[in-house]
Amino acid sequence: MELAFLFEKLILVTVLFVLTLSIAAYSTWLERKVAAWLQDRVGPNRAGIFGLLQPLADGGKMFFKEEIIPSGSNKWLFIAGPSLALLVSFLGTAVIPFGQNIELFGKTVPLQVTDINVGILYIFGVVSLGVYGIMIGGWASNNKYSLMGAVRGASQNISYEIAMGLSIIALLLVTNTLSFKEIAEQQHSWHWNVIYQPLGFLIFIICAFAETNRVPFDLPECETELIGGYNTEYSAFKMGAYMFAEYINMFVSSAVMAVLYFGGYNYPGMDAVNSLLGPTWGPVIGVAVMFIKIIAFIFFFMWVRWTIPRFRYDQLMDLGWKILIPLAIANIVITAIVITVVDKL
Which spans of this chain sit near another protein (rule: CB under 8 A)?
A: 37-42, 45, 303-304, 306-308, 319, 323
Q: Which is nearer to another protein, 15 or 308 (CB)?
A: 308
Please check whether residue 253 is in contact with residue 130, taking contact to mean a CB–CB distance below 8 angstroms: no
Q: How far is the CB of 206 from another protein (least distance, A)?
A: 9
292 vs 308 by CB, closer to another protein: 308
If the CB atoms of residues 203 and 239 are measured against another protein, the closer one turns out to be: 203
Q: Which is nearer to another protein, 38 or 288 (CB)?
A: 38
Least distance between another protein and beta carbon 36 (Å): 8
> 41 or 61, CB closer to another protein?
41
Amino acid present at 198: P
CB of 288 to another protein, least distance (A): 24
- Identify the CA nearest to 136 among candidates 67, 230, 214: 230
Query: Residue 146 in contact with residue 87, Cβ under 8 Å?
Result: no
Shortest Å, Cβ 95 to another protein:
31
What whole-number distance in Å separates Cα of residue 31 and Cα of residue 43? 9
Instruction: Tell me the DSSP string of 3-55.
Output: HHHHHHHHHHHHHHHHHHHHHHHHHHHHHHHHHHHHTT-----SSSGGGTTHH
Closer residue to another protein (CB): 248 or 327 = 327
Shortest separation between residue 237's beta carbon and another protein, angstroms = 26
CA distance 102 to 278: 10
Q: C-alpha distances in angstroms, 273 versus 203, 232, 269, 278, 281?
A: 33, 51, 7, 8, 9
Please, which residue, 41 or 107, has the CB nearer to another protein? 41
Cβ 77 to another protein, closest distance in Å?
Answer: 37
Three-state DSSP at 110 gives strand
Question: Residue 157 and residue 161: Cα distance in Å, rounded?
Answer: 6
Nearest approach in angstroms of CB 210 to another protein is 14
131, 164 Cβ separation under 8 angstroms? no
